[in-house]
Structures are given as C-alpha cells and as structure tokens.
Structure 1
Amino acid sequence: MASKALHQNAVKDDLAKLPALYEDCFHAISRRRSPAIFMTRVRTSRNPDPFNDEAIEVRRHIDDVLRSWAALVAERVGLPVPGPDRGAGIGGLTAFLVAHLDWLMRSAAATEFAEEVAALRGRAERLVNGTAPAHHLGECVEASCDGRLTARTAPGRAVASQIGCDRGHSWPPREWLLLSARIERREAS
C-alpha cells in the first residue's frame, strides 16, 4: 500500500511540475544565437529556421496529452470537460487531473497515465535543462523526506554527473560512496 501511495505522490509531483515546464518550453522556442554566430553573417539561399521545433512539439504534446486525460476523467465521472472558459490552460488541466488523481490511479489506465505524465515531464526537463533522463534510485535517504532520489547525466557523458532528490537534497560526487551505503542500509531495513 505504501508503494501505491508513493507512486501516486510521484504522479502528483510530475503533474505539479508540468505548468512551469510548459512555460519554460515557451521561452526555449526562440533559439539563442551564440555571439560568434550572431556577429558572422553567412549567405545562404534560405534563412535558417529561427525557432526550436522541439520546444513547440513538447508544448503541443503536453497540451494534447493533458486534454485527452482530462476529457476521459470528465466523461467517466460525469463532469464537464475542462475548457479554456473554465481556466483549463495547462495549470487548470493539471489542477483538474490532480483533483481526480485518486480515481485515475484506481482506474485500469493508471499505469498508462503515470507513464505518460512521467514521459511528458522528462521530455520537457531534457529540453529545458539539457540533461539526460533521470535514473531513479528510490526514495530519498534524508529523514522525513518523501522525495525521489535520481541520478542525472550531462549531455555527452556516460556517467552520472548529479545525484539529488526532487525535494532539493543533493550530493556532490565526493559523497556518492557514502550515499550508496545509506541507500543500501535503507533497502536492507
């Protein structure tokens, strides 16, 4: 039962982060030019696309997926479908889904929902932060913390470059052996 609650908390956390990530993706739409490129004018037959198509696609995908799940919930629980007139931008959609998260997590589609929401968050974070997906290491080892412990790799690196939890705890590489021992003790108990 505790595992189910942790899983539901993870989905809730993923949903809670989506509105800010959606907004951050908006700021990533216009590609930044490096000073060297900006100062050098290259003649081409066509102007390069000044927009980050991936950022546009991530925003569209977040909107589509959340609207689809909100429509399913609205249909099944007999509520009106959240729309722009009901404040159902991304923030409104995530609030609606969080309000009905108990129902969603008991439904036959719970696993699919959780995976899609985690994938949306991961894709948006990779775009915004330029990091590889997080490798989940379990629960945070700090007392009274219910965060998820993750290892991340920087682009182009094969080994972890950062370990932390989604509540703000982090460990520098020099502490990873001690952290590993704490994880093992936690799992053994």
Structure 2
Amino acid sequence: MSILFGVVFFILGSLIVYVFQKKIFKGITEEDVVCEVVQKAFIRVKNSEHNEHKLVRELLKSDAFIKDLSLTAKFQGSIVGYILFTKIKVGEETLLALAPLAVLPKYQKKGIGKSLIEKGHKVAKNLGYKGVVLLGDPGYYKKFGYSSASKWGIKSPVKIADENFMAIELYPDSLIDIKGVVQYPKEFGI
C-alpha cells in the first residue's frame, strides 16, 4: 500500500510542478530568452552600452531581419548562445551585418561562438549573400577569416578603428567590386 501511495504522490506532485511551470513560463517567448542571453553575455563588456538586447528586439521586427540567419545554440534544451545576421547595403549591393554574437558567460570559450559563426556563414552563403561586415575584436574574428573591411573599400558610417571594422567574403572575390559606406538599418541608430 505504501508503494502505491508513493507512486500516486509522485505522479500528482510531478503533474502539479508541470502545470505550475507552464503557467509561469507561458508568457515567455524565444525572443525573450534570446534577449536575456544577449544581455547577460554583454553585461561585463567594458566598451559596450549594454543595449545589445534592445537592438536584437528591434532587429527581429525590422525589414532587415532574415529568419534563417537568427541562430541559437542550445545546451540541454536551453538557449546558451545566439547570433544574428541582418541585411545592410553597400552601394547597391545587399550584404549582411553580424550583430550580435552572444554566448552566456558560463558557456564561453567552449566553441559555441565558433559554431554559430560557421553555421551562419554556411546559411548566408546558401542564401546567396556575398559577404558579412562586423564591428568587433580582430583578435577573435580574424580566426574566421575576417579582415579590415577597408581592404575592399567598404567603410564604416561612423569613426571606428580600421582593424575593428571587418568583413569576410563568403565566396572567393565576392566583395572585389563592392565599395562604399555601409548603410545600416535604422534600428542600429547610425
């Protein structure tokens, strides 16, 4: 009898916990989780205004958003990393901006960022995009083939150190004829 009571108690308890969790998390969307990951990833970054999560929320609603290039990394069912590529213009050409790349601090330096970048490049290439532009740490992004965007005549719309404004060709020589100032979507506030 006590075993039966224990099994019934366990099943009822599990059911109550399940219902309770569903009620609490019902209003939380994947967008909310992604924005929380981005916010936590940038919280300790010194040269950040700590508004990257707000930018993501705005970009997800913008005309520059590409659903296939909004990628998450999961560990045990939870989102631990995120990368977003959005449309930008350089002259008449549509390229991509990588912003942001975010991995929860606990999961950094485990290859998650690398996996997100490589997957993003592959998807972007399959979608026919020629290149990606970003503002970031050259010590990190050079590992993936990024170099100064000025190499191709691609310029930042704001004053930034040349080595921090980078680009990558997704096909050999795909950026060779693309020159000009990057026109970011209005959500970037540039």
For the criterion TM > 0.5, the same-fold answer is no
Max radius of gyration: which structure? 2
Structure 1 length normalisation: TM-score?
0.30
**Of Structure 1 and Structure 2, which has the larger fraction of its residues in helix?**
1
Say which structure is richer in strand: 2
TM-score, scaled relative to structure 2 = 0.30
